[in-house]
Amino acid sequence: MAAGRDEMRALADASLARGDALGWFEELYRRAGPDHARVPWADGVPNPLLVEWLAGPDAAGLRGRALVVGCGYGDDAERLAEAGFAVTAFDVAPTAIEACRARWSGSRVDYVVADALAPPPAWRGAFHFVLESNTLQVLPPGVRAPLLGQLAATLAPGGRLLVLCRGRDPGEPEGQLPWPLTRDELDAVRAHGLEPVRFEDLLDGEAPPVRRFRALYQRPPVG
């Protein structure tokens, strides 16, 4: 894992130095090839905070079209499909999407290549649920607010956005990539018409535990 994170940071640094916040993802997946463990966030299972959330009251009765941001190798997308959502999952890295289609042959999930900062116009207002899991924390601060704005725009009236990320207080240093976010950074979606539903400040099951935020927002229903 340490070697994978060192490689990730070197690729990200080089890409950011070129003014490209997203270009390094494809290079990371291409280098990993069939060795999925070389990608630091590829655990081979759905995010435990998502699995727990799906079993709780906030997910009860929430179904319809779902969008998974930066889907990686597809574990979260497949879990949402199992839960009854009609899932579209995207990643900016074509190699990641190719791996998803091969790994989940016959899946009901629609895996597509797309840029979170410039999503297809047809996605605007099209989804009942959007999952952002650990993508914001590997992007520089200047990109996070625009990305959240784009995600907010994909929600239909009454739709919900769930954000899972590392968390920190405003006065704490960001440290190395992956960079934890503050609650204020996430609450920026309120400027795009979303309302906070629930905010959870948690410690995960890693050793040592990592502070995580699980934040749920909703676009108000019409009428």
- CA-CA distance, 151 to 132, in Å (whole number)? 9
Is there a contact between 139 and 116 (Cβ–Cβ < 8 Å)?
Answer: no
Q: Confidence class of residue 222 from pLDDT cuts 50, 70 and 90?
A: confident
Structural domain of 96: 44-218
pLDDT in tens, 54-96: 999 999 999 999 999 999 999 999 999 999 999 999 999 999 9
The reply to whether 197 falls in a domain is: yes
The reply to whether 223 falls in a domain is: no
Q: Could you tell me what percent of the chain has a pLDDT over 70?
A: 99
- Confidence at residue 3, expressed as pLDDT on a 0 to 100 scale: 59
Helix (H) or strand (E) holding 24: helix 24-32
CATH number, domain with residue 108: 3.40.50.150
Question: Into how many domains does the chain fold?
Answer: 1
Residue range 154-177: average pLDDT? 96
SS3 category, 148: helix
Is there a contact between 143 and 188 (Cβ–Cβ < 8 Å)?
Answer: no
Other CB atoms closer than 10 Å to residue 117's CB: what's the count?
14
The reply to whether 184 falls in a domain is: yes
The reply to whether 5 falls in a domain is: no
pLDDT in tens, 134-158: 999 999 999 999 999 999 999 999 9
| Structure-block tokens of residue 182 | 């503050």
- Confidence at residue 1, expressed as pLDDT on a 0 to 100 scale: 52
Higher pLDDT, residue 120 or 4: 120
Rounded to 5 degrees, φ, ψ at 115 are -105, 120
pLDDT in tens, 4-33: 889 999 999 999 999 999 999 999 999 999
- CA-CA distance, 205 to 79, in Å (whole number)? 19
The reply to whether 22 falls in a domain is: no
The label of the residue with tokens 């590829």 reads 42
First to last CA, the chain: 49
The reply to whether 210 falls in a domain is: yes
- Confidence at residue 184, expressed as pLDDT on a 0 to 100 scale: 97
The reply to whether 76 falls in a domain is: yes
- Confidence at residue 4, expressed as pLDDT on a 0 to 100 scale: 80
- CA-CA distance, 41 to 4, in Å (whole number)? 9
The reply to whether 172 falls in a domain is: yes
Is there a contact between 70 and 92 (Cβ–Cβ < 8 Å)?
Answer: yes
pTM equals 0.96
